[in-house]
């Protein structure tokens, strides 16, 4: 039995000794090795994809922990006074805190934005009986805003209508980061924003991992925060934002805040 001649050949790596064997019919992609290069490429793509997915998950978790770690733990008295005060609806304590700031002289007028159509000025006065006169003279109610984007739009309209250059913003501590993104985008740094986060007794940020409801709330707000951050990088004006329209709740709307066709009362 004769042995096939041996010759020195080169491949992609270096010098190797190969036995010269009769060529076999090509299979699959035409590689005589049975498609190994294709399997190697697929494996490389798989490992690269897995690495990217792992890094993305790590970044998401790290960002979430940073988000939760930077939420306000306690309420602070605003430093100095502002022209106006804005309270975003969604928590009972928000309106009460905003009215207290107004009564203490931290702003000249208060806008409560995103008020339910069934909520009247009389009901707000009934819930804050000691401030009835102040509510009658210095509180504006906005029924047009549908969500946080709409709140920012209405805040801009209200501030410019009253020629205000500074505003104190009252909302829950977990909602404040997204609110500031939307306000910064709407105001374009032309007005100064002073945050006043509301901290409720039943929501302990320091032990959120022991409370499934609190963890779910912070995680949900973190995802919305990321969406807002990305969206505001690619749009010029929230009043003409198609993404903002899609976020509108329930019935189709042309804007996340209705045009100013009615008085703020």
Q: Which domains does the chain have, with CATH numbers?
A: 84-200+207-247 (3.40.50)
pLDDT at position 101: 94
Contact in structure between 18 and 9 (CB atoms under 8 Å): yes
pLDDT at position 190: 76
Query: Low-confidence residues of the chain, pLDDT below 70?
Result: 1-38, 92, 244-265
Two structure tokens written together for 245: 């329209």
C-alpha span between 171 and 98 (Å, rounded) = 9
Residues in the chain: 265
pLDDT at position 140: 96
Beta-carbon count within 10 A of 209 CB: 10
The DSSP element (H or E) to which 37 belongs, if any, is helix 36-69
85: which strand partners?
A: 110, 168
pLDDT at position 201: 74
What pTM value is reported for the model? 0.74
Two structure tokens written together for 175: 């909602």
C-alpha span between 176 and 180 (Å, rounded) = 6
Interior angle at CA 223, CA 219 and CA 226, nearest 5: 140
C-alpha span between 50 and 85 (Å, rounded) = 48
> Helix, strand or coil for residue 163?
coil
C-alpha span between 249 and 207 (Å, rounded) = 31
C-alpha span between 133 and 196 (Å, rounded) = 24
197: which strand partners?
A: 171
Which of 97, 81, 77 is closest to 89 using CA atoms? 97
pLDDT at position 178: 96
Which of 167, 210, 174 is closest to 91 using CA atoms? 174
pLDDT at position 46: 78
Give long-range contacts, CB 8 A cutoff, 24+ apart: 245-251.
Answer: 247/147, 247/149, 248/146, 248/147, 249/146, 249/147
Contact in structure between 93 and 174 (CB atoms under 8 Å): no
């Amino acid at each position: 039995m004769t042995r096939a001649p041996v010759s020195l050949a080169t491949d992609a790596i270096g010098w190797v000794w190969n036995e010269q064997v009769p060529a076999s019919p090509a299979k699959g992609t035409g590689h005589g090795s049975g498609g190994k290069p294709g399997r190697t490429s697929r494996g490389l793509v798989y490992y690269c994809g897995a690495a990217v997915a792992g890094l993305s998950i790590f970044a998401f978790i790290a960002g979430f922990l940073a988000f939760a770690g930077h939420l306000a733990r306690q309420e602070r008295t605003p430093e100095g006074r502002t022209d106006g005060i804005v309270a975003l609806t969604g928590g009972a304590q928000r309106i009460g805190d905003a009215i207290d700031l107004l009564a203490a002289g931290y702003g000249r007028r208060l806008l409560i934005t995103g008020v339910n159509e069934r909520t009247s000025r009389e009901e707000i006065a009934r819930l804050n009986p000691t401030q009835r006169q102040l509510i009658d003279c210095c509180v504006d109610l906005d029924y047009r805003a549908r969500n946080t984007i709409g709140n920012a739009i209405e805040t801009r309209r209200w501030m410019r209508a009253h020629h205000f250059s500074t505003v104190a913003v009252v909302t829950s501590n977990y909602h404040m980061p997204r609110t500031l993104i939307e306000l910064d985008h709407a105001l374009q740094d032309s007005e100064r924003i002073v945050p006043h986060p509301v901290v409720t007794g039943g929501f302990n940020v320091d032990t959120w991992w022991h409370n499934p409801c609190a963890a779910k709330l912070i995680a949900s707000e973190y995802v919305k925060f990321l969406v807002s951050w990305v969206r505001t990088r690619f749009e010029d004006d929230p009043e003409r934002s198609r993404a903002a329209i899609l976020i509108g709740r329930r019935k189709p709307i042309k804007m996340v805040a209705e045009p100013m066709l009615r008085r703020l009362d």
